[in-house]
Structure 1
Amino acid sequence: MPTLICGSVAYDTIMVFPDRFKHHILPDKVHMLSVSFLVPEMRREFGGCAGNIAYNLHLLGGEPVIMATVGQDFGPYAERLDALGIRHDCTRVLPTHFTPQCFITNDLDDNQITAFHPGAMSESHDNRFDHVEGLTLALIGPDGREGMLARTRELKAAGIPFVFDPGQGMPLFSGEELLGCVAAADYLAMNDYEAALMTDKTGKTLAELAAMVRALIVTRGADGSTIYVDGREIAIPAARAEAVLDPTGCGDAYRAGLLFGIERGWDWETTGRLASLLGALKIAQRGGQNHRFDRASLAVAYREAFGCELPAW
């Protein structure tokens, strides 16, 4: 069953600052902030929310279809996707633009300072998915503003259930626009910071937002996650990571687990635990798409993390 993943495909330039940002940012001087961080460690990775989610869903055995707008420099990424067997026939190349670029600096506390150049992503509203047969589920992640609004209308009109995951794109929308997207969606996924921003912008409580969708998922980093469904709050524990090396892409890995569980009709406890485990597996590796697992190793890790069995598929 193909799953449409709408959002960014980007190159991530990831740098590590071997100290803590808080030691170098003076709270009483933020109105005139001018800081420079020496970053002796730097690498370039394949990333973007859509690319990362698709990578994890593919590892699980799903059939992701990436829908993104990219630029003249997309060639190496396309070759990688082809080698992995991940569909990108909904990806449109604009030769006059760059592929989106993300510049990320992490400190020793895993805090991040990120600069993002959208490039071709700003033209995502012209993409189409009507040639993809058998779509039963989709996710709308951070993308160009008009593209996110267009996908919301199109998926709703086509009757395809979807997860609305506004992420870093949330500041692009008014409270009224966000409520319109939530009302059209079947599922809403955010981290705890984004959830606070959503409630502030819309004037709705989490309980009120949860009542508008089949399920509301809020991730809380090392504190696990909460799934609001049918008037209940299901607490999902965080799986213990073998190492904490790089948080980049952890939320995307979590969302792949959500999509996989939803596709298979699993209960929310099982789905949430799988999502949590994928986040833990990712954080133990650098980059958004360098971790590996198969069904057998995933089943063992799930049992060790939660003391119960992962359903077979």
Structure 2
Amino acid sequence: MPAIICGSFAYDNIMSFHDRFKSHILPDKIHMLNVSFLVPAMRREFGGCAGNIAYNLMLLGDQPLPVGTVGKDFEPYREWLQDLGIDSRHVMTLDDCYTAQAFITTDMDDNQITAFHPGAMSHAHRNNLKDIQRGRIGIVSPDGKEGMVEHARQFAELGTPFIFDPGQGMPMFNGEELRDVIAKSTWVTVNDYEWQLMQDRTGWKAVDVLRNAEALIVTLGGQGSVIHTRDKTYEIPPAKVSAINDPTGCGDAYRAGLLHGLLHGMDWEITGRIAGLMGAIKIESPGTQNHRFTVPEFKARFRETYRISND
């Protein structure tokens, strides 16, 4: 049975401004800002949480089944998925929308200006999980708010265990809504900033989350991660990286590692380390779907990194 990946698909348009924003923005004129930046370097990457998670899960040798809504411009992305052997039959195309798009401009000081167009992502709720073959496990990752709420409800009604990964969608939810989705989920994963925001909005601590979900996973960037369960807290060390190239998509790679461990019944010590190594491999490459490895290569690096086996 596949892992059902609910979330966004997007094009990431990444541009480099070979100067500093501050040199072109007049502090006393920000109330009437009108600037233009020449960006001679640009690349277009396949992205979005569902696409990224599915890509990384595929690398690990699993069968992802992504679920999302995309626009009339999605065909190159769909061909990419098909070439990878990822089933895209439940990626719904809406002919009156564009696929979600991020336009990211970075200056020489690594400051960024980003514009995001949600496009078809706003219609994610139109995909009904009850129309999809049963999965062994699922994940609700950042997407249109209504879609996230509906897919959590549908997973619960189907009896499919799933991860709730609010990510950058966290600001869309109030405390009551977060508590409701957490109560339906089997596992919850956030980064340390999102965890603080979740606590502020819900009024819940880890013990409260664990009255509902079986585990709370909090990533700490370069410090590794912490996995809270009802019986024990696991401190997962960071994996060494050869270079820090691009952190975009590291969280999605980590979540694919979580899904892999859960799919194969691995314990949290191993699952957390697999997830951490996935994030480390991703950060070494630009973009979100450009890193590659074989399963034997991953196992060898896992043994080298942690001095234990994940077989």
User: What letter matches 1:194 in structure 2?
Assistant: E
Residue 278 (structure 1) aligns with = 278
1:228 aligned onto 2:228: yes
Residue 185 (structure 2) aligns with = 185
Do the aligned residues in 1 keep the contact of 2:130 with 2:158 (CA within 8 Å)? Answer: no
Structure 2 residue matching 1:93: 3-state secondary structure: strand
Structure 2 residue matching 1:130: 3-state secondary structure: helix
- Measure the CA separation in 2 of the matches of 1:110 and 1:274: 30
- Measure the CA separation in 1 of the matches of 2:262 and 2:123: 30
For structure 1, list consecutive stretches of 5 or more residues without a partner in the other structure. none
- Measure the CA separation in 2 of the matches of 1:26 and 1:187: 47
Residue 307 (structure 1) aligns with = 307
Do the aligned residues in 2 keep the contact of 1:90 with 1:128 (CA within 8 Å)? Answer: no
- Cα deviation code 1:85-126 (max 9, x no counterpart): 101111111101000002234567877654321101111111
- Measure the CA separation in 2 of the matches of 1:232 and 1:32: 55
Alignment of 1:122-161 (within 5 A): 122-161=122-161
Residue 166 (structure 1) aligns with = 166
- Cα deviation code 1:222-270 (max 9, x no counterpart): 1111111124221111111111111111100000000000011100010
TM-score (norm 1): 0.91
Task: Note the C-alpha offset of 1:79.
Answer: 0.8
Residue 10 (structure 2) aligns with = 10
Percent pairwise identity = 54
Residues 38/211 of structure 1: CA separation in 2 closer, same or farther (3 Å cut): farther
Residue 175 (structure 1) aligns with = 175
Do the aligned residues in 1 keep the contact of 2:25 with 2:35 (CA within 8 Å)? Answer: yes
- Cα deviation code 1:68-94 (max 9, x no counterpart): 000010111111111111011111111
Residue 73 (structure 1) aligns with = 73
Residue 54 (structure 2) aligns with = 54
Structure 2 residue matching 1:58: 3-state secondary structure: helix
- Measure the CA separation in 1 of the matches of 2:176 and 2:49: 24
- Cα deviation code 1:138-168 (max 9, x no counterpart): 0001111111111111110000000000111
1:64 aligned onto 2:34: no
Do the aligned residues in 1 keep the contact of 2:100 with 2:116 (CA within 8 Å)? Answer: yes
Structure 1 residue matching 2:93: 3-state secondary structure: strand
Do the aligned residues in 1 keep the contact of 2:9 with 2:49 (CA within 8 Å)? Answer: yes
Alignment of 1:278-297 (within 5 A): 278-297=278-297
Residues 31/221 of structure 1: CA separation in 2 closer, same or farther (3 Å cut): farther
Task: Note the C-alpha offset of 1:52.
Answer: 0.3
- Structure 1's consecutive aligned runs of 4 or more residues displaced over 6 angstroms after TM superposition are 18-27, 29-38, 107-111
- Measure the CA separation in 2 of the matches of 1:221 and 1:129: 32
Which segment drifts farther, 113-122 or 189-198? Answer: 113-122
Residue 121 (structure 1) aligns with = 121
Residues 299/181 of structure 1: CA separation in 2 closer, same or farther (3 Å cut): same
- Measure the CA separation in 2 of the matches of 1:171 and 1:31: 26
Residues 268/108 of structure 1: CA separation in 2 closer, same or farther (3 Å cut): farther
Matched pairs, number:
311
Task: Note the C-alpha offset of 1:207.
Answer: 3.2
For structure 2, list consecutive stretches of 5 or more residues without a partner in the other structure. none
Task: Note the C-alpha offset of 1:280.
Answer: 0.7
User: What letter matches 1:226 in structure 2?
Assistant: V
